Structure formats: structure tokens, C-alpha cells
Amino acid sequence: MWALMLLVLTLGAYGYVYSRVSARSVQANSVIQQIKNQNDASVKATLAKTQLAQLSTQQAAITQYFVSTSDVVPFIEKLQAIGKFVGANVQVVSVAAAPASPYGHLNLSVSITGTFDAVSRMLGAIEYQPYNTSINSLSLTAAAPSQVSASTTPATSLMPVWNASVVFGVGAITTAATSTATTTP
């Protein structure tokens, strides 16, 4: 009889210990799953930060081909400096913004005066500058002999003066679109 009572007591103790171990095992599995979920979320956050940094770099690379709305005057001054360098007189006739989100166009109308070589070099400088540029219209005329300036030097007085009226668009970006996103750690 003692053996039977010892058997029942042992089985009861075993059942109790088994149920406690099973409950703790369920709790441990729950904690393990929570840790795994937090690790997955941490990996996703790190991946998102890495991708955001890559996108910021790519955005900076792309925006260099657009004129910022805050840089319109320096852009025009740069065109005039290039014109002076190649021997052409560049006069801005009009500037108009054609906004779009986030990239628009800056439409410029310029008059270029000089020798054919200088005018064609300036047109090439406009066309091949490192911006998203498209020439919309071009009118090229040679000045009549009576229109040749008296201030020309003897060497250039023999060359006809050419005038190009150019309307072109250059990609423009609003200043707000150039700001980079920041992340908090």
C-alpha cells in the first residue's frame, strides 16, 4: 500500500512539475517571440535609415542638374559671364518660372550678340551646361551693315555682327524641395 501511495504521490508531483514547466515554457516562448519581433523591427529601422541616406545622396546628385529658385540670379550672372568669356554680349529679355511639383522649369529668353563664332559658342554653352536644359526656340540673324556698332575694333569691324534670340527652359527646383530629410537615432 505504501508503494501505491508513493506511486500516486510521485505521479502527482510529476504532474505538478510538468504543468509548471509547461507554463514556464509557454512564457519563455512568448518572450523569445517578443525579442525576435523587436530585433526584426530594429533591423527594419536600420535598413530604412540606410535607404534614406542613399536616397538623400541620390537626390543631391539629381538636384545638381536643376537651378534652385534661390539661385536664379547667380545662374543668369553665370550665363552673362560665359558670354563675356566667349566674346558675346548676353542680355536677358525675360525670366519666367513654370512651377511644377517638385521640379519645374525656369523659362528664359535671352538675346546674344557678337560674331558668329561667339554666338554659336554661347549657344553651345547654353545647350551643354550641366543642367536639365532644352532650347525651345532660336532665331539667328546677321546685322545689316548700318546696324554694326561704331565701337567695334578694326579687326572685328570686318566681321558681321550676329544676333541670336533664344528661348530656353532649364530645370528648376524650389528651395524647399532641396532640403534633406533628417532622422533621429
- Please provide the DSSP assignment of 75-134 as one string: HHHHHHHHHHHHT-EEEEEEEEEE--SSEEEEEEEEEEEE-HHHHHHHHHHHHTSSS-EE
pLDDT per residue, tens digit, the chain (185 aa), is: 888 888 888 888 888 888 888 888 989 899 999 999 999 999 999 999 998 888 888 887 777 778 877 888 898 999 999 999 999 999 999 988 877 655 678 889 999 999 999 999 999 999 888 888 888 899 999 976 544 455 555 555 567 899 999 999 888 777 654 444 433 44
CA angle 103, 107, 110 (to 5 degrees): 150
Q: For the whole model, what pTM was predicted?
A: 0.59
Note the pLDDT of residue 144. 63
Q: Is 66:132 a contact under the CB 8 Å cutoff?
A: yes
Note the pLDDT of residue 7. 86
DSSP-assigned letter for residue 163: E
Residues ≥6 apart with Cβ < 8 Å to 65: 130, 131, 132, 171
Backbone angles phi, psi at 158, to 5 degrees: -80, -20
Burial of 170 (0-12, 13-18, 19+ CB in 10 A): buried
CA angle 155, 158, 164 (to 5 degrees): 105
- Residue 126's identity, in one-letter code, is I
For the stretch 92-123, what's the b/e string if a residue is b when 16 or more beta carbons lie within 10 angstroms of its beta carbon?
A: eeeeeeeeeeebbbbbbbbebbbbeebbbbbb
- Residue 58's identity, in one-letter code, is Q
d(CA 76, CA 168): 13
Note the pLDDT of residue 96. 86
